[in-house]
Amino acid sequence: MTELSVVISGTGRMGRQVAAAVLAEPGMTPVAYIDALAERGAMDGIPVFREAGVGLDEAKPHVVVDFTNAAWTPVIAKAALERGIPLVIGTTGLSAEFMGWLEAETRARGVGAVVAANFAISAVLMMHFAKQAARFFDHAEIIELHHDGKADSPSGTAKATAEGMVAARGRPFVHPEPEVETVAGARGAELGGVAIHAVRLPGLVAHQEVIFGGQGQLLTIRQDSTGRDSFMPGVLLAIREVLGRRELVVGLDRLLGLA
């Protein structure tokens, strides 16, 4: 079997975690980092490029993995698709406009891309179970907890969970409004009747609770990622699976046969 060469977009903590996972995986090799803000040279023995096109032309990877931000992801995506290179994207907060472009571009070029709000298998199962439960309850709330350096709020996982729950239910949830709100925003954000509460504290990694309430009963579905290594099995799965795709796949659940 041909060794799969992988370019990692971003040299932050997630980028370095991906590189380490790829390096440790039989049949895969990290061949370059691409990071517009990094110094050109090498990191952990892996070449670092600042320009997307230059890095891809020199490294010639089979797949690009991107965990960066909503400003940079479109840049690396455009450069990769123009060269026929599939993408695995874990960046959250991506605009609807970009996602529409990505869907059209992958289909037109016949190049695969996987975009997922969360690559932890347990998180994907939590979202799947929440969609199943959504049909049986009128009230639901989400509490998502992340480290204090997380850029977006609410998390992409929380947003995707709420959207999936509303779609599975077929109508909005009941969202009780307080008669008196003594502190603005105390009920959190709201999506389709689901209240979403975002916690940001040092010491956290990525955690989420989905709480359903009914007459005399509660159902709580909780997922915890205690380290960034929790995302790596899903990332490695996506790297292998994206090579056989010719279109955009949104969500790891489709790769796991859950959708």
CA-based nearest residue to 144, from 163, 165, 159, 130: 159
Calpha distance 112→246 (Å, rounded) = 4
Asked if 60 is an active-site residue, the reply is no
Cβ-proximal residues to 160 (8 Å cutoff; 6+ apart), any chain: 117, 118, 127, 251
Distance CA 175, CA 246 (A): 40
Which residue in 62, 146, 159, 207 is the catalytic one? 146
Calculate the dihedral angle through the C-alpha atoms of 160, 161, 165, 167, rounding to the nearest 10 degrees: 10
Selected catalytic residue, list 150, 159, 175, 197: 150
Q: How far apart are CA 174 and CA 153, in angstroms?
A: 22
Each residue of 143-152: b (16+ CB within 10 Å) or e? bbbbeeebeb
Residue 146 annotated as catalytic: yes
Residue 12 phi, psi dihedral angles, 5° rounding: -75, -165
d(CA 71, CA 83): 20
CA angle 166, 187, 200 (to 5 degrees): 90
β-strand partners of 218: 213
Helix (H, G, I), strand (E, B) or coil at 141: strand
Rg of the chain taking only CA atoms, in angstroms: 19
Catalytic residues: 146, 150
